[in-house]
Structure formats: C-alpha cells, structure tokens
Amino acid sequence: MNESMKSVTIARMIERPNARQFIQEIFEEFMEFHGDRLFADDGAVVGGIASLNGMPVTVIGIQKGHSLEENVQCNFGCPNPEGYRKALRLMHQAEKFHRPVITFINTSGAFCGIGAEERGQGEAIARNLLEMSRLRTPIISIFIGEGGSGGALGLAVADQVWMLEHGVYSVLSPEGFASILWRDSTRVEEAAEMMKLTAGDLLENHVVDRVFREPREGLEKNFTETAEQLKKALEETLPQLQRLPEEELLQKRYDRFRQYGEYTE
C-alpha cells in the first residue's frame, strides 16, 4: 500500500475521533442548535455556540459515528441539504454577533439520495460557497478525516484551511476516480497516488495552509495531544484574523481561492 492510500485508509477508520469529540475536547460550554428552519434537523451536521478560553465562537462539524447505530443516526457523515442549510443559519448568526466560525470536516461526500436532490442538494452547497466567501467574520476550516468533493467544500471556504496529517481532500474517492478513468476499480492505489489528496500534497499545492502531525501510535490512541495542538493554534490565529478590518479579511479570503490556479500552472 502506498502512502497516499495509507492516508485514505487511516482517514476512514471507524475509530478515528469525530467532530463531536474535537468540539468537546477543544471548547467549553458547547450549546448545540438544531434544524435549518426549513425542513428538518440533519444528524450529519452538528453545530452551535461555544467558548474558546472565554472567546465566543460558532462551531460546526460533519459528524461520523463509531458504530453502525451511530452512523445510521448521522447518515454515515453524508449531509443532506438541510445539514448545509443548518450550517449556513449558524454562520449567519455568527456574523450577526461577530463570532468567529470554526468548521470540522470529515465526510466522503454529500448524500446523493433522491430526497436530497429533490430538496436542492446542489443549490444548498452552492449557497454555502457563495455566502461563506463573503461572510463578514473569520472562518477556519479543519479537515479531521475525509474531505470528499463538494460535500466537504460546502464547509471549507475559509480564511485558513487546516488538516490533520492523515486527512485527505479530493474531488472524489480513489475508487470513483479509478472506475471513471480506467473502468477498473482495482487500480485504486494508483488513483490515490495520482490524485495528490494527502495533507502533504495539499500543503505543497497551497490548498491547505497548515498540517498538524498525528501521534505515531494513532490519533484514536492519543487524541488529547492533537486536540491541544489545534486549540493552541486557534487561540493564536483567531485574534489575528479578528484584528483585520472586515474588507481586508474578505479580500484576503477571496485572493486565497482566486490564486489557487497560479500554483497549479
């Protein structure tokens, strides 16, 4: 197994700490909010307000479970449109009260069921991209596991994008890539290598801004150490972003994504 496929395998491990665990470990006084005020509450997206050493923040995460029962409750971490709309509702609330937004991302992709499409899955994701690009408050997005296609991007238009060492982020899965390009899903390792989806590849290509190393024995066995690293980084970075004038914050966010093509030419 090559290094790229190794990261994919680790990112998908059912034992890997999920969004709720990171939220509970890093923040205090987390108060969860529910529903998109349009259709339903999506268990795949968890969000609310919390405190980071006294600083009010809005926290949103795509949730995966550690068992079959938990995964059924959160739709295996595949959000429906109401999940993205719930997230956007919370982000607009954060903007109103000048709270920074932190998102935790771990999804193989948005749910592609008939109901999701009928309720406007594509529009919901596109709306998040548009609104996050001009949200007048700092945003930091953190990939803690898988980052699959638009389902991940719908919560990742941020001032800074961070990733754990064995996180991955790509337009589709290596299995899907191999099936589409070669009509041969057995070439999945080759696909993973070609896709440049690992944290190291993405840092080199300026897709992510910072990578956090994971414990050698495995994130699931020493979760606290990594959570402390993230907490310290958030404590250092959020005040810097908050000090920026709003127009400068938005321009820097815009430039961050517009300049991506320059790095890949």
Q: What is the pLDDT of residue 258?
A: 86
Q: Please, are residues 158 and 117 in contact by the beta-carbon 8 Å criterion?
A: no
With cut-offs at 50, 70 and 90, classify the pLDDT of residue 239.
Answer: very high
Domain boundaries, the chain: 3-258
- Mean pLDDT for the chain? 93
Q: In whole angstroms, how large is the CA radius of gyration of the chain?
A: 17
Within a 10 A sphere around the Cβ of 212, how many other Cβ atoms?
18
Rounded CA separation 252/265 (Å): 21
Q: Average of pLDDT values for 233-248?
A: 96
Could you tell me the pTM of the whole model?
Answer: 0.94
Which fold does the domain 3-258 belong to in CATH? Answer: 2-enoyl-CoA Hydratase; Chain A, domain 1 (3.90.226)
Q: In this predicted model, what pLDDT tens digit does every residue of 155-207 receive, in sequence order? A: 999 999 999 999 999 988 899 889 998 998 889 999 999 999 999 999 998 99
Q: Average of pLDDT values for 221-233?
A: 92
Which residues are CB-contacts of 1 (< 8 A; sequence separation ≥ 6)? 9, 189
Q: What is the pLDDT of residue 260?
A: 66
